[in-house]
Amino acid sequence: MRIFARFVLYRLILRPFLSLIIGVKFPKASAFPEGQFILVSNHNSHLDTVSLLCSLPVKRLGDVHPAAAADYFARNKVMATLCEFFLNTVFVRRKGEGGQVLKPLDELDMHVKSGKSLILFPEGTRGLPEQIVDFKCGAAVLLQRNPHVKLVPVFMIGMGKAMPKGGLPIPSECEIRIGTSSIDDSVRSRPVMELTAFIQDEVLRLKEV
Using CB under 8 A, pick the residue from 25, 136, 145, 188 that binds other proteins. 25
Calpha distance 164→59 (Å, rounded): 30
For other proteins, the closer of residues 167 and 191 by Cβ is: 167
For other proteins, the closer of residues 36 and 172 by Cβ is: 172
Task: Based on the shown chain and the rule CB under 8 A, indicate whether residue 161 belongs to the binding site for other proteins.
Answer: yes
CB-side exposure of 190: number of CA atoms within 13 Å? 14
Find the shortest distance in angstroms from Cβ 98 to other proteins: 36
Whether the Cβ atoms of residue 52 and residue 76 lie closer than 8 Å to each other: no
For other proteins, the closer of residues 115 and 171 by Cβ is: 171
Whether the Cβ atoms of residue 153 and residue 199 lie closer than 8 Å to each other: yes
CB-side exposure of 139: number of CA atoms within 13 Å? 33
Using CB under 8 A, pick the residue from 66, 138, 153, 164 that binds other proteins. 164
Task: Based on the shown chain and the rule CB under 8 A, indicate whether residue 124 belongs to the binding site for other proteins.
Answer: no
Using CB under 8 A, pick the residue from 172, 187, 192, 197 that binds other proteins. 172
Q: Which residues have a Cβ under 8 Å from the Cβ of 207 and sit 6 or more positions away?
A: 130, 155, 157
- Select the span of 4-12, 31-39, 104-112, 165-173 touching other proteins (CB under 8 A): 165-173
Q: How many CB atoms lie within 10 A of CB 35?
A: 10
Residues that bind other proteins (CB under 8 A): 23, 25, 129, 158, 161, 164, 167, 170-173
